[in-house]
Amino acid sequence: MPHKITLTGSATGPLREYDRYVAFDMREKGSPSAPKGLKKSTFISYTVFVAKKAFNKTGLTKKSIMHEKVLIQGEPTLDIPIDECPGEVGVICFQITVLPNKNDKEKNQPDEKKEPKQEAPAASEATQNTESKKLAEEQASVSQPTANEQKKKAETVQAEVKETPVQEEKTTPEKKPMPNQPKGTQDLLSFDDIIVPEAFLKTRPNPEKTQKVIDFVKRTGRLDEPLTIEKGSNVLKDGYRRYIVAKTVKLDKVPVVYEYQK
């Protein structure tokens, strides 16, 4: 019986076109809570192969495949060369479906669902007249405040206005420095948030230098330098060796410094 596999998510790398098919990379994490006594599984990288005819039917493009969420149904394969399949597992796609995003779902909802009906019970004229008389009587019975009372009330309001900004300043949270992270770290990102370009995936870092970084991480519990990430797109610009090391030693998150688009 053939193996089946289902993936959901967006492409983590650019679309690659071949003669009769296209390919792109995806990643998925394992279950966050493994059965007691077993190790938690980390993410697995996949390379998905889709027939051009089926891909064109989805309306996806080279740019939109990086942002749209898709559902892939197919079967795994381990026979494709690494230059075509940089992922740990290749997936022959039988069906690809573009999943609607949250904003589209809200737009497609009918107006009746978005805005709850507000129907106020119609009051009879007699009831309205009775309530108006009661209100007039209550207002007449309430004595007007004296000049001293008005002055005290104004002073109280002014005091509250002066105290409000001080209280707001105290409640503003202060930015805490990140402990045990390399110098220059601006943020911590998980592997799923980082997009590795195809040029990096085709390279193999020097084993000796990589081992030195692994030894440093095991000794200190952190990377020696942060990864350089493009702000906004989260594309890896520098630090692929450290990315591989962090993945090897199974760090939950990696320190990054942002490079702004020119």
Is 135 a domain residue? no
Band of the pLDDT at 50, cuts 50, 70, 90?
very high
Q: What is the CATH number of the domain that holds 74?
A: 2.40.50.140
Closest CA to 74 of 94, 47, 101: 94
**Residue 240 burial (CB count, 10 A):** 17
**Residue-number span of the structural domain to which 193 is assigned:** 187-259
Of the pLDDT bands very low, low, confident and very high (cuts 50, 70, 90), residue 171 is low
> Structure tokens of 15?
């679309």
Short-list 59, 61, 77, CA closest to 11: 61
Q: How many domains, in total, are found in the chain? A: 2
Give pLDDT, residue 97.
92
Across the beta sheet with 254-259, the strand order is 187-189, 254-259, 227-230, 236-238
Q: Does residue 126 lie within any of the structural domains? A: no
Whole-angstrom distance, CA of residue 235 vs CA of residue 232: 8
Q: Quick one: what percent of the chain has pLDDT higher than 70?
A: 71
Answer whether 197's CB lies under 8 Å from 236's CB: yes
Q: What confidence category does residue 108 fall into, taking pLDDT thresholds of 50, 70 and 90?
A: low
Domain presence at residue 129: no
Whether 115 shows a pLDDT value over 80: the answer reads: no
Global pTM exceeds 0.85: no
Residue 233 counted as domain residue: yes
End residue of a domain, out of 103, 135, 164 = 103
Question: What confidence tier does 136 reach under pLDDT thresholds 50, 70, 90?
Answer: low
